[in-house]
Amino acid sequence: MAQNTIRDRRVVGVTGAPERRVQKANPSGTPQGTDPETPPEGRPHVDALTALRRDRERLRLLDERRRSWSDAALETSSTLLRGVEDDPLDSVVSRLLVLAGADEVTLVRAFDGLGPVRVVAIAGSKNTSVVGDIVSVDVGSIEAVLRAGQPHLELGARSAAPRDTARGSKMVVPMRSADRVIGAVVVIRCAGSPPFDETDLDFLSTFVDHATVAIELAEARVHRERSALLEERARIARDLHDTAIQQLFAAGLELRATAAAMDPGATTVGLVHAIDLVDVAIGQIRTAVLALTPDPTGESLRHRILDIVRDLAVPFGTTPLLQFDGPVDLIERGALSEDMVAVVREALTNAAKHAAADHVGVTVRAKDDFIEILVWDDGVGLPEHPVRSGLANLANRALARNGTFSIVSDAPGTRAVWRVPAEIRAAA
């Protein structure tokens, strides 16, 4: 018989004897149509090959993850050292969010010792932390990492809860600098996500070690650049004080002498106006000198007031005019300076909300016997029924110091004057 014939699901060859049909193995490794309790002769070999393929695939995926983390660490370090990012720490946590497949990433920096830590960067839509928050270290894993300087892994309880309702596994890795810990990175997956493992922790630790070195080098570069900038500002301030102000002051004296020498009937309006302009210019340059002069602590009264004025430039559309008159820096630190800062903020905030002004100004005067804050604008004046809570706060602060507070609205324009007895320390 020259051709095979199929009968009763058996294969009959030319000899007429039934031949056993060879079955292909399915993906699980069990030949189709065979009894699993009685494996065929080739079953052990198939299982071994399947296990080998799985191991190779696992190692391939692990190698890809390792290369991804390594490339990201090098790229992040290079970016930090070049200084091309406006918010380098934000770029670090954003990169980690993607690399770790996390739902939340938080970077905290430590103060001296083991006191509280501050949140400096966050990523993830589920993250409830706020940049600038002060976090106590007695929160379990963070405290342990800061004390021991070793990474920490929490697997978390496996749950069928929605991803956004509970936290699952967490990794906390220290930011180590020489012999101390300067902060930590907290990476979290929500419940219901696959938990982190030791391999994830190793990858994250290596990334954070590289990033910490780059962050410290970048911060050192920024500190050098800031020091150079402060030195240059100090030089400009000295030049303005020693040249421009002195020349304007001399011009003002000469104008006054000329006006005094003129006949009583002569027109001196122009000269008087010129003198006023010179005085205004001197005041503006003095304010610029104060703004340029470095403040090592950043806590001086004038710098705090300057910061408030700059912060409120946005709602006004332009930076309010600020003038200092007298030894403002000699005002004693403490409750009085805190009141002055609060008064400037409150008065400017009220003007921003209600004045609709084109021009706003603040004058801070420190005299021998009184301290005065004048806030003026050229806006629409007070509303017919103004909210008195803010104005009452200003008045109460003045009364508590045996001072006065007055506000005059003569549209266009409003003038608020806060005056209290002086508390000025003797100059060193």
Q: What is the CATH number of the domain that holds 415?
A: 3.30.565.10
Inside any domain, residue 401: yes
Domain final position from 223, 253, 276: 223
CB 58 within 8 Å of CB 51:
no
Inside any domain, residue 286: no
SS3 126: coil
CA-to-CA dists, residue 82 to 75, 91, 93, 219, 220, angstroms = 11, 13, 18, 11, 13
For the segment 262-285, the average pLDDT, to the nearest whole number, is 70
Q: Could you write out the three-class secondary structure of 244-283?
A: HHHHHHHHHHHHHHHHHHCCCCCCCHHHHHHHHHHHHHHH
Same-domain pairing of 69 and 209: yes
CATH number at residue 137: 3.30.450.40
Name the band, by pLDDT with cuts 50, 70 and 90, for residue 425. Answer: low
pLDDT tens digits along 203-236? 999 999 888 888 888 878 877 877 777 677 777 7
- Quick one: 271 exposed, middle or buried, by C-beta within 10 A (0-12, 13-18, 19+)? middle
Inside any domain, residue 41: no
Same-domain pairing of 300 and 211: no
pTM of the model: 0.47
Number of structural domains the chain divides into: 2
124 has a pLDDT exceeding 80: yes
3 has a pLDDT exceeding 50: no
* Extended beta strands in 266-385, E state: 321-325, 360-366, 370-377
DSSP-assigned beta bridge partners for residue 171:
153, 187
Q: Which domain covers residue 96, as residue numbers?
A: 62-223
The Cα–Cα gap between 248 and 283 comes to 10
CB 296 within 8 Å of CB 329:
no
420 has a pLDDT exceeding 90: yes
Most confident region among 7-11, 16-20, 249-253, 318-322 by mean pLDDT: 318-322
Comparison of pLDDT for 138 and 195, the residue scoring more: 195
The residue whose two tokens read 């240059």 is: 232
Domain final position from 176, 194, 223: 223
373 has a pLDDT exceeding 90: yes
